[in-house]
Amino acid sequence: MEIVVFGSGAWGTALAMLLAYNGHRVSLWSHDGEKAEAVARTRKNPALPGVPLPEDIAVISDPSAAEKAELVVFAPPSNVLRSTVEKAAPHIRPGTVIVSATKGIEAGTELRMSQVIRQITQDAFPVAVLSGPSHAEEVSRHMATGCVSACEDKAVAELVQGVFMNDMFRVYVNQDVVGVELCGAVKNVVALGCGVVDGLALGDNAKALFMTRAMSELAVLCQKAGGLRSTCSGLAGMGDLIVTCLSVHSRNRRAGQLIGRGAPVALALREVGAVVEGYYAAASVKALSEKLGVDLPICRSVYGILYENADVTKAVHELMSRDRRSEFDYRWDSKSKPPAKPEA
């Protein structure tokens, strides 16, 4: 299959390598002509140090390459997805399948990434979402990984599953596009907050509490937006949350650690040296939650730290001092009580 991957960062490059390994004819597009020329010549991408780019991957900066593609993958940072799709869209031919591999919610519109793609392309192409716990550093090194291919159209989801899946990259199909995309966006916010917990040296108990209650918030948001709560317990939800909150590869976690140790937000973002998706997602998630009327205390606290200069220690104290409540929403009646202990 002829495939063009738009976005030559770590994730786009890793996906191009995966697809080439699977036997497809792959072109990797960069918005920067000089970068494309340098990567093509050296077969090295600074975004993935130590991982040589296979010779059979063409590195390009001309979006017209999409005219020959049977499948187009978008994998740029969320804040430039719109401009990237606008460059590519005029060249995508009828019948092409589009895969969104970018995680986030667009600032200002609160649109999910697949919605941005559909809007720009006037819903002329089937769009699937590829998401899950998948650090580019490991995928590029052919390490075991699992993801989901999400699309309302089962045939499209299965087509994408077949294109990407191999002996070390396992893909499951999923119908819940809304839930999968919201999980992919919100987990970056949570991971940044988890990094703050690490930076404050609050311990493993606090980190487990933070992650678990954040997942509860995410489940409520997913359901309110039209997704399924069950998606949050799968690869796109809990799986991606775990890897992003705990991995040394996580830029979001690293930024949060620096902030927790006292670094100003702007300095922490610069120190990471790459796009920290959680920073952008925090503002978009806050706006979306307000639009939907959903209370997300943890995500709101992360937003306060990032955009309102909230004190990190005070933010943690406020979360821990919230009113008492039940862990789950259920009625305290005879039907919901645990069974009586059997007699000896």
Question: Which pLDDT does position 344 carry in this prediction?
Answer: 44
pLDDT digit string, tens, across residues 51-95: 999 999 999 999 999 999 999 999 999 999 999 999 999 999 999
User: What stretch of H or E contains 277?
Assistant: helix 277-292
Question: Which pLDDT does position 274 carry in this prediction?
Answer: 81
Question: Which pLDDT does position 337 carry in this prediction?
Answer: 59
- Dihedral sign for Cα atoms in the order 236, 239, 242, 243: negative
Half-sphere exposure of 69 (CA within 13 A, CB side): 28
Query: Cα separations (Å) of 302 from 138, 142, 214, 219, 337?
Result: 28, 34, 11, 18, 36
pLDDT digit string, tens, across residues 296-311: 999 999 999 999 999 9
pLDDT(336) > 60: no
Question: Which pLDDT does position 340 carry in this prediction?
Answer: 55
Catalytic residue positions, numbered? 187
Instruction: Give the span between the Cα atoms of 154 and 252, in whole angstroms.
Output: 32
pLDDT digit string, tens, across residues 155-170: 999 999 999 999 999 9
At position 205, the amino acid (one-letter code) is N
Sketch out the chain's domains with CATH numbers. Answer: 2-175 (3.40.50.720), 178-320 (1.10.1040.10)
For every residue of 162-201, DSSP letters joined together read HHH-BTTEEEEEES-HHHHHHHHHHHHHHHHHHHHHHHTT
Question: Which pLDDT does position 11 carry in this prediction?
Answer: 97
pTM here is 0.91
What are the b/e assignments for 7-31, b being 16+ CB within 10 Å? Answer: bbbbbbbbbbbbbbbbebbbbbbbb
pLDDT digit string, tens, across residues 241-263: 999 999 988 999 999 999 999 99
Half-sphere exposure of 174 (CA within 13 A, CB side): 28
pLDDT digit string, tens, across residues 179-228: 999 999 999 999 999 999 999 999 999 999 999 999 999 999 999 999 99
